[in-house]
Amino acid sequence: MDRWVGKIALVTGASSGIGAATTKALLQAGLVVIGMARRVERVEKLKSELPATIQQHLHAIRGNVSNEEDILTAFKWIEAKFGGVDVLINSAGVFHYKLKMIDETNTAQLREIIDTNVLGLAMCSREAFNSMRKRAADGHVININSIAGHRSHYPGMNIYCASKFAVTAITETLRQEFKAENTKIKITSISPGAVRTEMLPKERLELGIAVLEAEDIADAVLYVLATPPRVQVHELTIQPVGQLT
């Protein structure tokens, strides 16, 4: 991780769950982190709880990745203050449990999932790549995907599975595009199974299902970042011991 010390990382969805755990892990590894979230006050609270030695390296910025203007504003601010982004963690995500695709009046929820999980991730990746290429930086884009992006039979997940299948396809498309542009910018999809976060329905936890902790995914982020320049971990699947599907 030495080559990342002092580098600039943008983490979307940094206010809770995997985003918050990854923010902490990157700070502890020596990176400067911009935590982007709709609930920016949570990122500020996270900052106040950090050791004094790394507090100054976390910068909170309000933004909703389903809003392109928020994304462009965030990247412009980062460029003006730090020069650009070296690492992007696409962690922001939305999930509506038990919402059926055939339910009437579900349009707003369907749009929210697609706009956040697919379009927001794609636009953030676009801006990060161009920031890296502009400075000839060998950066890294990491998409927090899901095993739902590889299997479509999870009940109660409606269009969420389709959104994560899109992330799987987008990751491969971007890998090819990064290569075609003759860069050494890496991209990785990390696909966890069930993770104990606010997105996991309480009723699922009460059933005693096997779960991962958000810190397990943050550890995976550090692992793929720590690989040597010649190595690209394109897809990493992580499931808790005992998960049935």
- Residue by residue, what is the 3-state secondary structure of the chain? CHHHCCCEEEEECCCCHHHHHHHHHHHHCCCEEEEEECCHHHHHHHHHCCCHHHHCCEEEEECCCCCHHHHHHHHHHHHHHHCCCCEEEECCCCCCCCCCCCCCCCHHHHHHHHHHHHHHHHHHHHHHHHHHHHCCCCCEEEEECCHHHCCCCCCCCCCHHHHHHHHHHHHHHHHHHHHHCCCCCEEEEEEECCECCCCCCHHHHHCCCCCECHHHHHHHHHHHHHCCCCCCCCEEEECCCCCCC
Q: Please, which pLDDT band fits residue 206 given cuts at 50, 70 and 90?
A: low
Mean pLDDT on 59-79 = 98
Is the pTM higher than 0.85? The answer reads yes
Between 153 and 170, name the one with better pLDDT: 170
Residues 107-117: pLDDT tens digits? 999 999 999 99
pLDDT at 244 exceeding the cut of 70: no
The reply to whether CATH 3.40.50.150 applies to domain 2-238 is no
Give the pLDDT band (50/70/90) at residue 100: confident
160 annotated active-site: yes
Question: What residues does each domain of the chain span?
Answer: 2-238
> What pLDDT is stored for residue 203 in this prediction?
67
Single out the catalytic residue among 97, 154, 160, 223: 160
Q: What's the pLDDT score for residue 96?
A: 86
Tell me: the pLDDT tens digits for 161-195?
999 999 999 999 999 999 999 999 999 999 999 89
- Give the model's pLDDT for residue 197: 85
154 has pLDDT over 80: no
